[in-house]
Amino acid sequence: MKINIISVGKIKDREIKLKINDYIERIKHDAAIQLYTVKDSDKETEGKKIIEQIKKNVSYTVSLSEEGKEYTSRKFASKILKNPAGILFIIGGPFGLDKTVKEKSDIILSLSKMTFSHEMAQLFLLEQIYRGISINLSRKYHKD
């Protein structure tokens, strides 16, 4: 499986960065994973840069937004992570994602109805990806 993540803005918090790297290393054992950072600016400019990346990618595209669909970890594992073409996740900046990015997405996913910083959203997403892979491989990480 190939997983790509586009995130607007750099990860500045050192502790969050360490945890993000931990999950990336865990995921690498079972899937190819690549992170791309788009410099934060205005929503439209960010959107254009993200659309360029979407065009280069033939993956199933998932945009993260609070108005998206929520899944349990098991449903996320079976519905999202079992995509044979690979997956592209997109995390917006402080102002969210431009509507053109959402329109190009196959699905809009919500991690929560609450709003998180892009740093926390990236960490939570990576943890759920790792959890989903563990569920799909029947590992003990996920407890029911």
Domain ranges of the chain: 2-136
Check if the beta carbon of residue 52 is closer than 8 Å to that of residue 90.
Answer: no
pLDDT tens-digit map of 5-19: 999 999 999 999 999
Element spanning 83, H or E: none
Helices (H) and strands (E) in the chain, counts: 5, 5
The domain over range 2-136 is classified in CATH as 3.40.1280.10? yes
pLDDT tens-digit map of 91-134: 999 889 999 999 999 999 999 988 899 999 999 999 999 999 99
CA nearest to 26, candidates 3, 9, 10? 3
Q: How far is CA 86 from CA 33, 36, 40, 52, 96, in A?
A: 10, 15, 26, 17, 24
pLDDT band, very low/low/confident/very high, at 1 (cuts 50, 70, 90): confident
